[in-house]
């Protein structure tokens, strides 16, 4: 298979815990891959190692032909990988627009000197950014697109989650990592958010996604392929139906012997 992301032999130890244990994980362009496994199986650690939040003890990561092994978060981001976090990182007092733009280091060119010396360009850049943020938000929720300057604090959970995903998408990544995007949401809200994610992919067939998600209905519906972790090791891989039928997965993950 052609590989967009290729992680080989990744290991990460925290004291006595081997959070990732020689993990091989590859993702093809345009895939939606579900990363599943019990709590503590290493899913978030995998995202953290890939995105330069913590270094790997062993292994290599390549992405789109570039070696990203132990690269800085900035380098990872510039290579085209964006993520959301398990716990919200929105600044509630800031506007929707500002929260989205925090994710946009790529286009942001608004240093003091730039601001002072080129006001015209600054305004053009602001307008371009505003339109890009608006277009993105509109895909998720048209009603929100006209409220970009309102603070995030007034928004319900599902809209906050949408804004976090917009923040990750504003830099036009090739690979989007979603860490439990449905956490804290109802079943219906989750279904709605997954429709949004499918729509985003529909509009941008170049986008590749790895999603960590507990709701198996969601995983079945939106993923092309799943990778199952247990104790930092890959215990199964394949279409949801295949992995869900796997005895080892049932034992580890679904708690059925
Ligand atoms: N920063 C850290 N410091 C110490 N232990 C950690 C840290 N991050 C994760 N771990 C441990 O690594 C294991 C995997 O955690 P994590 O990747 O968060 O699992 P998951 O996201 O699958 O629930 C757990 O045992 C967890 O306690
Ligand atoms: Mg996690």
Q: Is the CB of 42 under 6 A from ligand 1?
A: yes
Q: Which atom of ligand 1 is nearest to the CA of 45?
A: 17
pLDDT for residue 195 is more than 80: yes
Q: Is the CB of 44 under 6 A from ligand 1?
A: yes
- Residue 161, classed as helix, strand or coil, is helix
Q: What pLDDT, on the 0 to 100 scale, is given for residue 257?
A: 47
Which ligand lies nearest to the CA atom of residue 46 in the structure?
A: 1
For ligand 1, atom 20, the nearest C-alpha belongs to 40
**What is the per-residue pLDDT across 215-233, written as a single tens digit (0 to 9) for each?**
888 999 999 999 999 999 9
Show the beta-strand stretches assigned E in the chain.
5-14, 17-27, 32-36, 58-63, 66-67, 81-83, 175-179, 208-212, 225-230, 233-238
Q: Is the CB of 126 under 6 A from ligand 1?
A: no
What is the enclosing helix (H) or strand (E) of 200? helix 187-203
For ligand 1, atom 15, the nearest C-alpha belongs to 40
Q: What pLDDT, on the 0 to 100 scale, is given for residue 123?
A: 78
Q: How far apart are CA 33 and CA 222, in angstroms?
A: 9
Q: Is the CB of 37 under 6 A from ligand 1?
A: yes
Q: Is CATH 3.30.70.870 the right assignment for the domain spanning 5-80+173-252?
A: no
pLDDT band at 1 (very low <50, low <70, confident <90, very high): confident
Q: Taking residues 241-257, what's their average pLDDT?
A: 80
Q: How many CA atoms lie within 13 A of 9 on its CB side?
A: 5
For ligand 1, atom 11, the nearest C-alpha belongs to 19
- Tokens 């690269």 label which residue? 71
**Could you tell me the residue ranges of all domains in the chain?**
5-80+173-252, 93-157
- Tokens 């601001």 label which residue? 115
Q: What pLDDT, on the 0 to 100 scale, is given for residue 120?
A: 75
Q: Is the CB of 48 under 6 A from ligand 1?
A: no
Q: How far apart are CA 86 and CA 172, in angstroms?
A: 21
Taking the centre of ligand 1 as the mean of its atom positions, its distance from the CA of residue 54, in whole angstroms, is 11
Q: Taking residues 175-194, what's their average pLDDT?
A: 94
């Amino acid at each position: 298979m052609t590989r967009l992301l290729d992680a080989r032999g990744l290991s990460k130890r925290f004291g006595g815990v081997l959070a990732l244990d020689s993990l091989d994980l590859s993702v093809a362009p345009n895939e939606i891959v579900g990363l599943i496994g019990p709590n503590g199986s290493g899913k978030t650690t995998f995202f953290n190692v890939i995105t330069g939040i913590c270094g790997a003890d062993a292994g290599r990561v390549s992405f789109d032909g570039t070696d990203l092994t132990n690269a800085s978060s900035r380098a990872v981001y510039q290579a085209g990988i964006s993520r959301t976090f398990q716990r919200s990182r929105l600044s509630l007092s800031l506007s929707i627009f500002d929260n989205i733009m925090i994710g946009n280091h790529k286009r942001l060119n608004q240093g003091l000197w730039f601001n002072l010396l080129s006001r015209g360009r600054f305004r053009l850049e602001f307008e371009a950014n505003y339109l890009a943020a608006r277009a993105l938000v509109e895909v998720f929720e048209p009603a929100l697109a006209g409220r970009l300057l309102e603070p995030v604090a007034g928004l319900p959970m599902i809209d906050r989650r949408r804004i976090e995903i917009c923040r990750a998408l504003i830099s036009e990544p090739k690979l989007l990592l979603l860490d439990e995007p449905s956490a804290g949401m109802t079943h219906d809200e989750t279904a709605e958010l997954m429709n949004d994610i499918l729509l985003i992919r529909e509009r941008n067939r170049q986008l590749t996604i790895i999603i960590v998600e507990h709701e198996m209905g969601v995983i079945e519906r939106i993923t092309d392929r799943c990778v199952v972790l247990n104790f930092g090791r890959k215990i199964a891989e394949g279409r949801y139906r295949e992995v869900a039928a796997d005895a080892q997965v049932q034992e580890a993950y679904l708690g059925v012997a």
